[in-house]
Amino acid sequence: MRAVVPIRHISPPANAEGLRKQTDATGRLLAPLLVLAESSDHLVAGSVGAFIADGELFRIPRVLFVGPKGGGDTVRLAIFGAVHGNEIEGAEVLIEFLHELSRTPAAAKGYHIYAYPVCNPSGLVTGTRNNISGVDLTGEFWRSSDQPEVYYLEREMGVHQFHGVISLHNTYGTDFTARTWSSILDDALVQPALAAARRFLPEPVQDSHEDASSWPNASGSIPAGFLTATDELLHAPFEINFGIPVRAPKPLRIQGTVVALVTILESYRILQATRQNI
């Protein structure tokens, strides 16, 4: 079921001004992106809401990239980073990804991309997997959670009715990993994305085809389909969990994940065109 409105919910969505005033880890991380958004024809920065926990104010940022108009219906894609506060790589990837799209907006032709770089701002500040209340957010979605982060993100999914959602996580080892729950999407989206990302690894790796029912990350496991396991949404979006290898050199894992995301955009566009021609 949908989350109840949390007691600590204090504000509606806000523009970028609120984010600029943040002096915590989220504000410092997003500062270059907010500067870019000021002069961009494609980026719109803001927050989906704010809450108070332990006397501190936290905002959940959202950056919308409006791609050039395509030939068909606009695809709404959501990408979530730092659901675990100690996984800053997801946020860093999204920031670099949005910079890359700003340099080459044609890569997002036909897309509206909703990026949520820091889904767990209190965990980012404390450097912990869980939020400041000690809760792992991946186990809270669509369970009438009273966690404000979950409330805001569920609301985003309900309002925007995304065609697809991608979450970025840390994983063990030196190899990129990804999973979805459709063999068609695995072949059409996941495998091309992994192949593109692995070109950035220092040594060739072998596709392990991990079991989707048990996917370890740097500090635990992620519930299968945690963002979309509900009948609350009118149209179920596809879901991809993408694993960033913490033991690979940082510049390579960031670049590889950015290229994987761009590849998913290209592959999904091809998949949609193929379906239309069937």
Q: Quick one: tokens of 14?
A: 């806000």
DSSP string, 82-100: -SSTT-HHHHHHHHHHHHH
What pLDDT is recorded for position 88? 94
In the chain, what are the domain boundaries? 9-277
pTM of the model: 0.89
> Residue 188 has what DSSP assignment?
I
Over residues 15-73, the pLDDT tens digits come to 666 666 666 788 889 998 998 999 999 999 999 989 998 888 999 999 999 999 988 88
CATH architecture of residue range(s) 9-277: 3-Layer(aba) Sandwich (3.40)
Sign of CA dihedral 161, 163, 168, 169: positive
- In Å, how far from its chain's centre is CA 146? 21
More confident residue, 225 or 212: 225
What number of CA atoms fall less than 13 Å from residue 227's CA on the CB side? 29
Using a 10 angstrom Cβ sphere, with 0-12 exposed, 13-18 middle and 19 or more buried, the burial of residue 54 is exposed
